[in-house]
Amino acid sequence: MRKLLHIEQIKLLNYNPFRITIALYFVAFALGILIYPAIDKEIPVISLSDLFRFPDVWLFLAWITEPYNAVLALVVIMITTKEFSDHTFKTQVVFGLSRTDLLLQKLLAIALLSLFATLLVGLTSMALGFIYSYKLTLKIAFGNSWILGRYLLASFSYMTIGLMVALLIKNTALSLITFLALRVFVDPVLWLLLRNHEIKWYLPFRTVTRLTPVPDLIEIFQRKMNSSEPVDEASLEILPKGLPPWLTILMVLLYTGLVIWACHRLLQRRRFT
């Protein structure tokens, strides 16, 4: 394991496109966070800076930064297809790695990137929470930090889908286009087609997205107003309900397992040239 990780480390840390994309991910992440306080000035009814307070900041940040996982999936596609175009998968097999090792190597890289993304969200949430919160106890501060576990799973799942697409298509440009098409076009179209059926909640990308759902803004607003009046049930309908959290997690684990199995099969069958 350590050996595989070290090999990936040499490859990735010296690969300029990887370093640049990760730097861009940082920039995009930082800009995304900076934009919200700016929007805040435009909306007088509910202050978005409230969402940066503990414990809501954990949920809010996990939700708004979830799309950035797609960027990491693109990174995975880039580094995997590069192995095909440079014929280096073959070299590694010739010199002694098994095909399962090749998969483990990429999964380890994905796991590290997921940890990195989760850590970034965690640290940013904490920093924003400390800046914006006025009432601070340990319970309040870390109240919703459990979302980081879900964020980690979402990030990992996204990237494994990217890996599968890369192993299937092998070509960088085509893989990137396919992945983006799946995320931006196929998934929403299927969602629309299945909008009257419960099965829509089981769509792979949908379940992954639902791991870090939209925070309950009404409840947050109500808490801010110190209102004890029950919330109008009808108003809650604006929030998508979906599957219960445990089922969402189960479905994502199932999908991720299937994707990893497919990656394994693809690598076993690939003829390296």
Partner 1 sequence: MKELLSIEGLSKSYKHVQAIKNLNLLISEGQAFGILGPNGSGKTTTLSIITGIIRQDSGSFSWFGEESLPGHRKSIGSLIESPHFYPYLNLEKNLRIICDIKGASYRDIPRVLEISKLKERSKSRFSTLSLGMKQRLGIAAALLADPQVLVLDEPTNGLDPEGIAEVREIVIEQVTGGKTLILASHILSEVEKICSHVAILKKGELLACGPVRELLSEEEIIEVSCRDNQLLKQKLRHSKLVREIEPGNGVLVLTLEEGVGAGDINAFAFSNNLVLSHMYSRKRSLESQFLELVKEES
Interaction site with partner 1 (CB under 8 A): 3, 6-7, 10-11, 14-16, 86-88, 90-98, 271-272
Closest approach, Cβ 187 to partner 1, in A, equals 34
90 or 264: CB nearest partner 1: 90
CB of 106 to partner 1, least distance (A): 15
Nearest to 173, CA basis, from 244, 265, 50, 85: 85
Min dist CB 266 to partner 1, Å, is 15
* For partner 1, the closer CB: 76 or 148: 76
Q: Identify the residue whose tokens are 């010296």.
A: 14
Q: Which is nearer to partner 1, 14 or 235 (CB)?
A: 14
- 60 with 215: CB under 8 angstroms? yes
Cβ atoms within 10 A of the Cβ of 67, count?
Answer: 13
User: Smallest distance from the beta carbon of 10 to partner 1, in angstroms?
Assistant: 6
C-alpha–C-alpha distance, residues 229 and 210, integer Å: 28
How many helices (H) and strands (E) the chain has is answered by: 14, 0
Output the smallest distance, CB 265 to partner 1, in A: 14
> Of 153, 136, 125, 116, which Cα lies nearest the Cα of 18?
116
Q: What 3 state SS string does 118-176 have? A: HHHHHHHHHHHHHHHCCCCCHHHHCCCCCHHHHHHHHHHHHHHHHHHHHHHHCCHHHHH
Q: Provide the CB-side half-sphere exposure for 77 (13 A, CA).
A: 24
Name the residue nearer to partner 1 (CB basis): 14 or 196: 14
The sign of the CA dihedral 87, 90, 92, 95 is negative
CB nearer to partner 1: give 100 or 227: 100
- Judged by beta carbon, residue 10 or residue 234, the one nearer partner 1 is 10
- What is the smallest separation between the CB atom of 271 and partner 1, expressed in angstroms? 6
CB nearer partner 1, residue 95 or residue 134: 95
In angstroms, give the least distance from the CB of 82 to partner 1.
9
Handedness of CA 108, 111, 117, 121 (dihedral sign): negative
Report in angstroms how near the CB of residue 273 gets to partner 1 at its nearest.
9
Token match 């959290």: residue?
Answer: 245
Dist CA 72 CA 99 (whole Å): 23
